[in-house]
Amino acid sequence: MRIVFIGPPGAGKGTQAERMIDRFGITHLSTGDMLRAARQAKTEVGCKADEYMSAGQLVPDDIILAVIADRLTQDDCQGGYLLDGFPRTLGQAEALDRMLVQQQTPLDVVLELQVAEDELFSRLAGRGRADDKPEVIRQRLVAYRQQTQPLLEFYGKQGLLVSIDGLGTPEDIFERITAALDALEQD
Ligand code: AP5
Ligand code: MG
């Protein structure tokens, strides 16, 4: 299965991804994790990305697309994957479509995790990642609303979008996701 996860910062994409890779035997591809690893390794990409990540802004599409393009063709992606935090702009989504047409590997579903903003702040305040300061969270939310939310319509038109209520315990939400994916597999 090839799945895209869309949701605002703190929606629980990473939390649910960990459960989903065990259940469905797919590979977790988080562009945020890849960029943090590159930053820690002090690579050129990592240092460039840090300027944007620290400010809560999206890293430019060309950097992200270079990071993800090779990754999708690697062996561990052939049995399916979960894209967590990518694509995040229309430009990224269109580039992904082109890659997938070329590889003849269409997406199966785009899952949106819906969580209200006040809940996002309290979740992220309890975590404490470098970009979890209130002013940076606010900017990440602006980026989400302005640059990522338009993807919901883009994937809705393709008939791929399934929205999941992201409020509740992680176990509740995982059940909603698996029920939605099981329903898709039966179609
Ligand atoms: P990224 O790493 O993708 O971060 P994000 O989208 O802001 O989301 P988070 O990872 O903070 O939240 P999550 O939805 O994974 O929630 P989690 O499960 O951790 O991106 C970081 C930065 O990298 C971006 O700002 C950008 O600069 C750059 N970047 C990355 N990809 C990019 C791209 N494609 N294009 C351009 N730039 C890109 O949960 C959050 C907290 O809530 C945790 O503490 C968790 O324990 C808790 N929690 C989870 N579920 C629940 C629940 N049900 N109830 C209560 N608490 C919960
Ligand atoms: Mg995450």
For 65-118, how does the pLDDT look when each residue is reduced to its tens digit (9 = 90+)? 999 998 999 999 999 999 999 999 999 999 999 999 999 999 999 999 999 999
Average pLDDT score over residue span 112-131 = 94
Domains of the chain: 2-26+79-181 (3.40.50.300), 32-78 (no CATH)
Ligand 1 contacts CB of residue 64 (under 6 A): yes
Model confidence at 149, pLDDT cuts 50, 70, 90, reads very high
Ligand 1 contacts CB of residue 8 (under 6 A): no
Report pLDDT for 70. 86
Ligand 1: atom nearest CA of 86 is 34
Average pLDDT value over all residues in the chain:
96
Ligand 2 center to 99 CA (angstroms)? 23
pLDDT of residue 120 exceeding 80, the answer is: yes
Ligand 1 contacts CB of residue 11 (under 6 A): yes
Ligand 1: atom nearest CA of 32 is 2
Ligand 1 contacts CB of residue 126 (under 6 A): yes
DSSP state of 184: H
Ligand 1 contacts CB of residue 85 (under 6 A): yes
Ligand 2 center to 101 CA (angstroms)? 27
Ligand 1: atom nearest CA of 60 is 36
